[in-house]
Amino acid sequence: MVESALIERHLGRQPYTPTWERMRAFTEQRTADTADELWILEHDSVFTQGLAGKAEHLLNPGDIPVVQVDRGGQVTWHGPGQLVIYLLLDIKRLHYGVRDLVNLIEQSLVAYLAELGVEAYARPDAPGVYVEGAKIAALGLKVRRGCSFHGLSLNVAPDLEPFERINPCGYAGLKTARLADWRPDIDLVAATEGVVQQLVSRLGHTQIQRQQGWS
């Protein structure tokens, strides 16, 4: 069945803007028969400002570029050491609402961290995943024509200094966290496998294809 097909696309390290443009093009061009995809990658250092973004939340971006994007939410940072997964899903075909998808992502991250002995939780007032009051994972989604794009970022082992240049997700003084501070033995490869497994088990696709790169 077409609705059961999912492609895991492992992309390595990618610049932000061309990837975002590919996401938008993929979503605009997909049809009722297009398989869903997860784009799994790491970005060059960048701040992204969502549709609700306010300039005052960019405190001191310095030499890190700022990109205005079409997802929900405020400002966040992407960069080396952070796992990014974009969920390009036909949520209408999957019978998901946006809140359903947000819950699924948060539950997947919390379950993965629990496997590692890290107690994490979601907050109803601020999407994302938190450990000991600090944000370890961010979410931002866009839905167009019944299909989602953008997705999640999990701080595995990045330098957290760029988060000090912004109010993360629009919250002044919000602390950020990284998995390496609890589990320094977990690298980006291991985190990728663990998070993807949790997502795939919840999404329910029965035909999974794993691909390296764009083709």
Cβ pair 205, 8 in contact under 8 A: no
147 catalytic per annotation: no
Q: What is the tens place of the pLDDT at every residue in 93-126?
A: 999 999 999 999 999 999 999 999 999 999 988 8
- Residue 126 assigned to a binding site: no
Catalytic entry in 88, 89, 109, 169: 169
d(CA 55, CA 199): 33
Above 70 in pLDDT, residue 3?
A: no
What pLDDT sits at residue 156?
98
- C-alpha–C-alpha distance, residues 155 and 138, integer Å: 9
Instruction: Supply the mean pLDDT for the chain.
Output: 93
CA pair distance 37, 200, nearest whole angstrom: 11
- Residue 185, classed as helix, strand or coil, is coil
pLDDT at 79 over 80: yes
Cβ atoms of residues 77 and 64 within 8 Å: yes
The number of domains in the chain is 1
**Torsion region of 98: left, alpha or beta (phi above 0 gives left; psi -120 to 50 gives alpha):** alpha
What are the pLDDT digits (tens) for 56-78?
888 888 999 999 988 877 889 99
Instruction: Provide the pLDDT for residue 92.
Output: 93
- Is residue 131 annotated as involved in ligand binding? no
Query: How do residues 160-184 score in pLDDT, each as one tens digit?
Result: 999 999 888 777 888 999 999 999 9
- Ligand-binding annotation for 71, yes or no, is yes
Q: What is the pTM of this model?
A: 0.95
- CATH code of 53's domain: 3.30.930.10
Helix, strand or coil, per DSSP, at residue 125: coil
Q: Is 76 annotated as a binding residue?
A: yes
Question: Is 140 annotated for ligand binding?
Answer: yes
Give the CA distances from residue 135 to residues 33, 87, 127, 183, in Å, rounded to whole numbers and listed in that order: 37, 20, 10, 16
Range of the domain at 195: 2-212
